[in-house]
Amino acid sequence: MPKSPHIVLIVADNLGWGELGCYGGGALRGAPTPNIDKLAAEGLLLHNFNVESDCVPTRSALMSGRHPIRTGCLQSVPAGLPQGLNRNEITLAQQLSGQGYATAHYGKWHLGDVPGRYPSDRGFDAWYGIPRTTDESQFTSTLGFDPSVVELPYIMEGEAGQASRQVKVYDLDTRRGIDAELVERATRFMTENVRQDRPFFLYLPLVHLHFPTLPHPDFAGRTGAGDFADSMVELDHRVGQIVQAVDDLGIRDDTVFIFCSDNGPEFRRPYRGTAGPWRGTYHTAMEGSLRVPFILRWPGKVAPNRVSNEIVHVTDLFTTLSLIGGASIPDDRPIDGVDQRDFFTGASEKSLREGFAFYIKDELRAVKWRNWKLHFYWEPEVNEGKGKLESPLLFNLTQDPKEETDVLIFNTWVMNPVLKMVRQFNLSCAAHPNTAPGAPDQD
């Protein structure tokens, strides 16, 4: 029986499509990214990898293989309020753990911050990182901050079967150093399991480039282009450290190595990112929100120097990685992710996905289908929405990447396959009712 491959999944936080050198950024942004660029040359680079509009929805989609409207993971909420994946959802970590994988989470979780919903309660053998979001690192430095009414943010850790515990306050100093800590722990985890000849799943959702985008002291001032560029150079270095560790351990050919982002770019100055040719940032339905970097290296399985504009969605990672790891796909609930193994390995030049419906919270904002995008709401920039449209707007994304010229009047035929897709999704939700946001766990 073939040996199960190791799986390394690195997810950057709010890394826009246009930041990396291999996506047209890099030195252009004052931040060369040689390590990630080299990784891209060694495998598959996607131009049309799609995520959700916010951290929680994307991470829930990755972990469950289901659109956030189904799971109730619609947006971030403050500490202490119900958030994240309900325990009746099956996670990717549970899928792989059930196949004998060692599993570890180092980084930002954002899928539950109460006992029973931490990573070590949801299929990970061990975890270290932050349960919620990085902007909390600013709390203790903010004028008027009152810890009597707001919980102090902590870096935490835990192991399966034990209560997770607070390690140290997550403030601006620990924010600068956390990615270095995550990489150190990740390297140790990989080394230990290679020695034991056990397949592992390393989920490494790094903190960069989420605001406040502050580099490790070793990288401060490195570029001369400010904190954001310094942090980008650090991110590239951290990815390079993991790549080097995999290669040094002699498991290069036996490792599915994925690097991607969870959301479109930051929009807050001075931490302003870029989506390259695409318009918009996260928290919108524009392509600058949906499309993010995605790189896959798997020597001997995935050809080097391959580039594709085929549509892939973050939910597909749950299905594809589950199958690569030998797990079967749950059949007691709708799973929105599709199996992209043939596409990733080149057995097929086409993705098995033609499109998807895109929600922000509980509103159907847009639908992508082939090269078309139909908007039901219009919000080209964050907080500049004009509400639901009387008549949808249609764009051909190949001809009009910035979504500037509505062509619906000339292409009303596109409404037919798009609305059929929406109807099928609605029927699925009716047959398998969606989980309400904040719904309590039943077990």
Give the catalytic positions in this structure.
55, 110
- Helix (H) / strand (E) element for 129: namely strand 126-130
Contact 377, 363 (CB under 8 A): yes
- Say which residue the tokens 């959802």 belong to: 89
Contact present, 238 and 12 (Cβ < 8 Å): no
**232 vs 215: CA distance, rounded Å:** 8
CA angle 52, 57, 349 (to 5 degrees): 40
Spatial distance between the Cα atoms of 11 and 202, rounded to a whole number of angstroms: 11
The torsion of the CA quartet 344, 208, 182, 9, rounded to 10 degrees, works out to -10
- Tell me if 126 sits within 8 A of 158, measured CB to CB: yes
Cis peptide bond upstream of 81, omega within 30: no
Question: What are 386-393's contacts with CB under 8 Å, separation 24+?
Answer: 388/363
Q: Which contiguous run of DSSP H or E holds residue 6?
A: strand 6-12
